[in-house]
Structure 1
Amino acid sequence: MGGGKRCFDVMASGAGLLTLAPLLVLIALWVKLDSPGPVFYRQERVGRGGRAFRIHKFRTMRHDPVGAGPQITVGADARITRAGGFLRASKLDELAQLIDVFVGSMSLVGPRPEVPRYVAVYPAALRDKVLSVRPGITDFASIEFRDESAVLAQAADPEREYVDVILQRKLALAARYVDEASLRTDVSLIARTVLAIVT
Structure 2
Amino acid sequence: MTEEKRTFYFVMKRIIDVIFSLIGLIITLPVIVVFSILIKLETPGPVFFLQERVGLNGRYFTIIKLRSMGADAEKNGAKWAEKNDPRVTKIGAFIRKTRIDEIPQLWNVLVGEMSLVGPRPERPMFTAQFNDEIPGFVERLKVKPGITGWAQINGGYDISPREKFTLDKYYIQHISPSLDLKIVIKTVIVCLTGNGAR
- In 1: Cα distance, 2:74 partner to 2:80 partner: 16
* CA apart distance, 1:136: 0.5
- In 1: Cα distance, 2:102 partner to 2:77 partner: 20
CA contact (8 A) 2:81 2:157 kept: no
* CA apart distance, 1:2: 1.6
SS at match of 1:7: helix
CA contact (8 A) 2:82 2:157 kept: no
**Counterpart residue identity of residue 105, structure 1:** E
Out of 178, 181, 194, which is 2:188 matched to? 194
* CA apart distance, 1:118: 2.1
Q: Structure 1: 5+ residue runs without aligned partners?
A: 149-161
* CA apart distance, 1:111: 0.6
Per the alignment, residue 130 of structure 1 pairs with: 140
* Count of aligned residue pairs for this structure pair: 182
Write out the 4+ residue segments of structure 1 that deviate beyond 4 Å after TM superposition. none
How high is the TM-score relative to the length of structure 1?
0.83
- In 2: Cα distance, 1:119 partner to 1:177 partner: 18
Out of 107, 113, 118, which is 2:115 matched to? 107
Identity of aligned residues (%): 38
Per the alignment, residue 21 of structure 2 pairs with: 13
Question: What does residue range 1-199 of structure 1 map to in structure 2 within 5 Å?
Answer: 1-64=9-72, 67-120=75-128, 121-122=130-131, 123=134, 125-127=136-138, 129-146=139-156, 148=158, 166-197=160-191, 198=193, 199=195
How high is the TM-score relative to the length of structure 2?
0.83
Q: Structure 2: 5+ residue runs without aligned partners?
A: 1-8
- In 2: Cα distance, 1:4 partner to 1:37 partner: 39
- In 1: Cα distance, 2:62 partner to 2:79 partner: 15
**Counterpart residue identity of residue 15, structure 1:** I
SS at match of 1:131: helix
**Which deviates more from structure 2 when the two are superposed, residues 50-59 or residues 80-89?**
80-89
- In 2: Cα distance, 1:71 partner to 1:94 partner: 19
- In 2: Cα distance, 1:77 partner to 1:68 partner: 15
Q: Closer, same or farther in 2 for the Cα pair 1:126/1:72, shift >3 Å?
A: closer
- In 1: Cα distance, 2:83 partner to 2:174 partner: 32
Root mean square deviation of aligned Cα:
1.9
